[in-house]
Amino acid sequence: MKPFRVLFFSILGFILMITGCQRQGSILLREKFKHPSSTEQVRVWWHWMDGNITKEGITRDLEAMKQQGVSQATVLNVGLFGGKDFGIPRVKFNSPEWYDMFRWAVQEADRLGIVLGAHNCDGWSSSGGPWITPEISMKQYVWSKTIVTGGKKVSVQLQKPWCEKDFYRDVAVVAVKTNEIQGSFQTARPKITVISGNNLNASTDVFVRMFGAGNKGSEVIPGDILADGNPLSAVQVGKGYRIEFAFEQPFHADKIVIHPRMRFSWSDISKFVSQYSLWGSDNGRSYKEITRFDIKGLNESVGIEIPPSEFRFYLLQIDDITDPGFLPFTIAEAELLKAEEKPLFAPVISSFMAKTVSSKAGSMYDFDGAPAVVVVENYPQMPNTIDVTAFMNSEGLFSWDAPNGNWAILRFGYTTTGAVNAPATPEGTGLECDKIDTVALNVHFENFPARLIKEAGSLAGSTFRYIFIDSWECGYQNWTGNFPAEFEKRRGYNIMPWLPVLCGMNVAQPEQMEAFLYDFRKTIAELIEENYYKHFSQLCHRLGMDFHAEVIYGGVGYPPLDILRANSYADLPMFEFWAGHNQATSFPEYTPAFQPEYNFPAFAAAMYNKPVMAAESYTAQAHYSESPWDLKCFGDRAYCSGINQFILHSYVHQPFDRKPGMTLLLWGSHFNRNNLYWEHLSDWLTYHARIQAVLQNGRQVARLLAYTGDQQPQALDFLADLKLPFGYPVSLCNQDILISKTKEKKNKLLCDGLEYDLLILPPASGMNLATLKAIEKLVKQGANLYGPRPKRLLSLKDEPGKKEFDIMTARIWGPIDGKNYTENKYGKGKVYWGKPLPELLKKINIFPEFETGQPDSLKLMFIHKKTETADVFFLFNQTDSVLVREGIFSTSARSPEIWNPVDGTIMRPAVYRYLKDGRICLPLSLKPRESMLVVFTGTNSGKYIESVYFGKDQIFPSADRVSSLPHAPVVWWEDNKIKSFSAVPGEYVMRYAGGKTISVKLSSPDTFCIENVTGTLSFSSSYPADIKSMEITRLASWSESTDPAIKYFSGTGTYHLKFSVPEEYLTGNDSVLLSLGEIGSTARVTLNNQHLGYVWNPFIMLPVRGILSKENELEVEVNNVYRNRIIGDYIEKGKVSSVWTSAPVELYLDKNKPLKKSGLLGPIKLIRISSTVL
């Protein structure tokens, strides 16, 4: 980019500083922006690590937070270091000593005016502890299947189903007629053993190297559960593991069926690959290879044809697997079969495990695909299940006069999922409480959250103000003790005849089984919502506390839930966003995105009118490389997504002064008092507070309203698939909002005070009848609808309304096929499908909220909010280039202002134009990575300039927005006068609204580069570093020094510089600004003994008029990051020894990683601005 161009547009920020604002509208909002209150300041998560807690550290932490402008902290007790000795006595969780520390923290927070909250259990997920017994833990259903032949009295011992923690309870025994016969594998009953390997996956290896948890070597594990027909039972395996099948006689096999399983994975399970080899032996010692094969994906049984083989011993070896991360990879089923045989577990329902809420799906399509096509005659319309519970005694002995035919006897019950709260300390670890049973949640709440409230005493509800639930990481739950009763109450029919479907039995038409499974998931969704999130909120409120929560985020990795409504119970709904880094360099790296990150909590906050929407902010990896300037883009994108309250991840408690100190193992950016730039952070935190003070007001504006769909679980994938053009934000509603809060008025949708032009449906094949009726009513009254015709009812409960459903969809969608016919008029409204959405938006004249006339999808991002008195647009330049644009804003307010969150100043521009369609065109310029608030107030703009010419050429509004002509000059109101200057000096013609034209000669800013600097540079650090103060005559990065002590230095460098300035910079009324140029990473600036401020952004300009003199002394205190010293240690010593950290920095930094630029790099400049009064 051209240096002068960047400099010129940097000056624009200063114009905001000198103009003030003379408008009277939105006084309260303006005051909040200029002076954010403590409720609008940035907050932190305050992690107490593994019992390493001291009162001295607590006090220093809280005082450091207060000093920099942090108003709130959430205590999370976490155990990630396995009880590792860090040289201080451990304070055990839930002990009297721990509560003493907690009380001290509350008292100190009260002294300092800081609000505290706490996570509801040890660890960060989710709600559990040692007080939770298996009876009140998260539960899963399990079963065993026995095939018997009827026509006689059958007496058989029913196998007790596999269970966790030796906890199992029977629910029922049911019999269903089947054409299954016992296969040769089941008849042969081979002995199955699992021989463990010696290989660790990459993720597990991290902990082994850190904590010395070495491999135990080869073990032999019984593997009978691999042939029990129940994929819920599984054996954890890894690379090098072997599964041996030992038969009494040689066994013939033509195929092998394997069910690779992971209950959960952070990655896309459809891309998970496991590699195998199969071997045969006659003696169990020398093996011959039969075949090798790969399986792509998880949680489905996969049949692999093999060369016809006959051996007494078979050996299945796991040759390799995709790194599963920190989560277990298992084999759930493994059977050798003849060509025509089916495995014991063979459901016709695809994605069975996901649809029964037992494990993660590959994609949302897994839930929405059409039911399997089968020979109808082979499947009854309804299950012919017989309840035979009474025929099994307490010992599992089953005696029954079985009718003719083959019968599957299913012993059905439940066990605990075994999920524990994590990552917790040993003293705080226990089972997760049952999330769909209020009794279990009451026990949990009483044992820890209520104890915290009691310990806080009179400060509970004030200083100690809220209890928090972090993100759901406890897996899946699909049963509880009273589930059958809850199911019947909510769905209107008995679950017992359908239990075989939950066991993979094909006992009805696929469409009916799919509908039952939907009802099953819907019931789980309602119970989690009501008995976990809603009830937790009620428990908090009864004791005068607020409830904060990161509710289930949605998608294939989470249980079913009405996520929008569940978020409505939180006093502070929350999300999270991460700050990524380049894997090769470990430098933070932002990648421009097409749109903000769509997230359910932000949509919920908008639709359920929750003014404050928070996020765990800047979560990252512990590489000690990030600075505020590096992080800025990640945060500004989050603001555009609807987040308006940052909670920094993380301020880790520092129990001692060893630096850089304690970390959240390998997670989190480093926001704590041991961070080198912490002392300079207040201005960056105030930048956030100003934005939050504005964006926490009003309602988010969008013209498009998308429906979540009725499918469970819920996901937002379809929003990205819409490929919305730049300028079109979208809101999201659920069935609750659609039915109870949405009305039609004048062809628009009115929803609790919000207005929309188009309702968008997800591309789903199924829908509930109540939803269809609500949509039919809205369209008939005049609403516009975009989406495909639903093909089937989702719920079995709606089955009696199938004919009504078919008639109604035929009327609403008419002839639409998405190809030849793409629209249909129904009542007063219209329905569209098949035409690309961008084309449709143009056709029906739905304007973007904001546009520039240029392809800015990957350059600009924004959010539009509307208050009672103002329209607010937050704009964010995602690029490292200057963007000069003519912004077109959809707003009913008429008078624009530009609010600068970096310094809290406000400018009232004097050049803009009203368009015929009611929108406003405003010239804009954004520096690299810059964000601004454009605020429109009032109904009458008064005097303004609507056209600007340079010579004979019109440069605003510009007909050619990529023209090489000069851009519009800067024109603003100041003290009831209009002032201007331009990057290009010359004669300009300006035409006022109403026709008056003036000609004016404008000057451009003058720049004085301070090149001949003289002075000294001194260093101070937290580690021994013998670096003497040095004379300097030029500016350069410390990392370029030939002296290793400076080259790898991490700490504070203080520059004392002397310079002279020309006389014209001292006289007159011209404004004068100081630019330091590039810094690494933050700086405190003092000129002639006057503090100017902190610099965290290379485009910050500091006003120095009245402070400058002929001869000047400039002091710049620069703090960098610890990255360089850590890399230097690897280069010089082979290990980190100069500084101390608990983070596994070797995962990110080594001797080959590049150093980060550090110090004052410049160029230092003075800029003099001479403006012209029009």
Helix (H) or strand (E) holding 188: helix 184-188
Q: Are residues 63 and 188 in the same domain?
A: no
Average pLDDT over residues 459-482: 97
Q: 436 lies in a domain?
A: yes
| Packing angle of the helix pair 535-542, 438-447 (nearest 10 deg) | 40
CA–CA separation, 380 vs 508, rounded Å? Answer: 5
Residue 443 carries which DSSP code? H
Place of tokens 């400049």: 1165
Give the per-residue pLDDT at 223.
87
N-term to C-term CA, the chain: 31
* pLDDT tens digits, 617-666: 999 998 999 999 999 999 999 999 999 999 999 999 999 999 999 999 99
CA–CA separation, 956 vs 950, rounded Å? Answer: 9
Query: Residue 758 in contact with residue 844, Cβ under 8 Å?
Result: yes
* pLDDT tens digits, 980-990: 999 999 999 99
What six digits make up the tokens of 1129? 């240690």
Q: 282 lies in a domain?
A: yes
In the predicted model, is pLDDT for residue 310 greater than 60? yes
In the predicted model, is pLDDT for residue 234 greater than 50? yes
* pLDDT tens digits, 760-819: 999 999 999 999 999 999 999 999 999 999 999 999 999 999 999 999 999 999 999 999
Average pLDDT over residues 698-717: 97
User: For residue 673, with 0-12 CB atoms within 10 Å meaning exposed, 13-18 middle and 19 or more buried, which class applies?
Assistant: buried
* pLDDT tens digits, 409-431: 999 999 999 999 999 999 999 99
Helices (H), 644-740: 682-695, 717-721, 735-740
Residue 255, beta-bridge partner list: 305, 337
826 dihedral zone (left: phi>0; alpha: psi -120 to 50; beta): beta
CB within 8 A of 791, min separation 6: which ones? 370, 765, 766
CA–CA separation, 808 vs 817, rounded Å? Answer: 16
In the predicted model, is pLDDT for residue 206 greater than 70? no
Give the pLDDT band (50/70/90) at residue 210: very low
Average pLDDT over residues 1063-1089: 95
Q: 31 lies in a domain?
A: no
Average pLDDT over residues 586-601: 96
Place of tokens 């094949």: 765
Question: Residue 301: which CATH number?
Answer: 2.60.120.260
Q: Are residues 287 and 232 in the same domain?
A: yes
Q: 403 lies in a domain?
A: no
Q: Are residues 689 and 755 in the same domain?
A: no
In the chain, the percentage of residues whose pLDDT exceeds 90 is 89
Q: 319 lies in a domain?
A: yes
Question: Residue 472: which CATH number?
Answer: 3.20.20
String of DSSP letters for 395-448: TSEEEEEEPSSEEEEEEEEEEE---B-BT--GGG--BBBPTT-HHHHHHHHHHT
Residue 304, beta-bridge partner list: 256
Average pLDDT over residues 548-577: 97
Print burial letters for 841-858: b (CB count within 10 Å at least 16), e (below 16): beeeebbbbbbbeeebbe
CB within 8 A of 395, min separation 6: which ones? none
Q: Are residues 1017 and 957 in the same domain?
A: no
Could you tell me the residue range of the domain that residue 1075 belongs to?
Answer: 1008-1121+1156-1173
Q: Are residues 646 and 753 in the same domain?
A: no
In one-letter notation, the amino acid at residue 729 is P
Q: 18 lies in a domain?
A: yes
* pLDDT tens digits, 30-62: 999 999 999 999 999 999 999 999 999 999 999
SS3 325: coil
CA angle, 13 then 860 then 971, to 5°: 35
User: How would you classify the pairing of strands 784-786 and 829-832?
Assistant: parallel
Average pLDDT over residues 439-457: 98
In the predicted model, is pLDDT for residue 204 greater than 80? no
Report CA 308 to chain centroid distance, whole Å: 50
Q: Which of 646, 737, 694, 671 is nearest to 866 (CA)?
A: 694
Q: Which of 765, 697, 700 is nearest to 733 (CA)?
A: 700
Last residue of a domain, one of 953, 988, 1004: 1004
Place of tokens 């029009």: 1174
In the chain, the percentage of residues whose pLDDT exceeds 70 is 95
In the predicted model, is pLDDT for residue 529 greater than 60? yes
Q: 137 lies in a domain?
A: no
Give the pLDDT band (50/70/90) at residue 182: confident
Q: Are residues 473 and 590 in the same domain?
A: yes
In the predicted model, is pLDDT for residue 1 greater than 50? no
In the predicted model, is pLDDT for residue 906 greater than 90? yes
Backbone angles phi and psi of 889, in degrees to 5: -110, 135
Give the per-residue pLDDT at 12.
55
Query: Residue 882 in contact with residue 9, Cβ under 8 Å?
Result: yes
In the predicted model, is pLDDT for residue 525 greater than 80? yes
Around Cβ 496, how many Cβ atoms within 10 Å?
Answer: 19
Q: Is the pTM of this model over 0.85?
A: yes
Q: Are residues 589 and 450 in the same domain?
A: yes
Q: Are residues 728 and 800 in the same domain?
A: yes
- Rg of the chain (C-alpha set): 34
Last residue of a domain, one of 290, 310, 343: 343
Q: Are residues 910 and 801 in the same domain?
A: no
Average pLDDT over residues 848-867: 96
CA–CA separation, 707 vs 313, rounded Å? Answer: 56
Query: Residue 705 in contact with residue 730, Cβ under 8 Å?
Result: yes
Question: Residue 999: which CATH number?
Answer: 2.60.40.1180
CA–CA separation, 216 vs 32, rounded Å? Answer: 60
402-404-405-410 Cα dihedral, nearest 10 degrees: -20
Average pLDDT over residues 1036-1053: 97
Number of domains composing the chain: 5
User: For residue 1110, with 0-12 CB atoms within 10 Å meaning exposed, 13-18 middle and 19 or more buried, which class applies?
Assistant: exposed
**Total residue length of the chain:** 1174
Give the per-residue pLDDT at 369.
80
CA–CA separation, 421 vs 130, rounded Å? Answer: 9
CA–CA separation, 773 vs 518, rounded Å? Answer: 19
Give the pLDDT band (50/70/90) at residue 382: confident
Half-sphere exposure of residue 405, counting CA atoms within 13 Å on the CB side? 10
Q: Are residues 1020 and 991 in the same domain?
A: no
Last residue of a domain, one of 632, 664, 697: 697
Average pLDDT, the chain: 93
CA angle, 684 then 685 then 686, to 5°: 90
| Packing angle of the helix pair 628-640, 682-695 (nearest 10 deg) | 10
Q: 605 lies in a domain?
A: yes
* pLDDT tens digits, 67-103: 999 999 999 999 999 989 999 999 999 999 999 999 9
Query: Residue 565 in contact with residue 589, Cβ under 8 Å?
Result: no
In the predicted model, is pLDDT for residue 203 greater than 50? no
Give the per-residue pLDDT at 211.
44
* pLDDT tens digits, 159-177: 999 999 999 999 999 999 9
Query: Residue 887 in contact with residue 850, Cβ under 8 Å?
Result: yes
User: How would you classify the pairing of strands 302-321 and 273-281?
Assistant: antiparallel
Give the pLDDT band (50/70/90) at residue 939: confident
Q: Which of 144, 560, 507 is nearest to 357 (CA)?
A: 560
Question: Residue 710: which CATH number?
Answer: 3.40.50
Q: Are residues 690 and 719 in the same domain?
A: no
Q: Are residues 862 and 797 in the same domain?
A: no
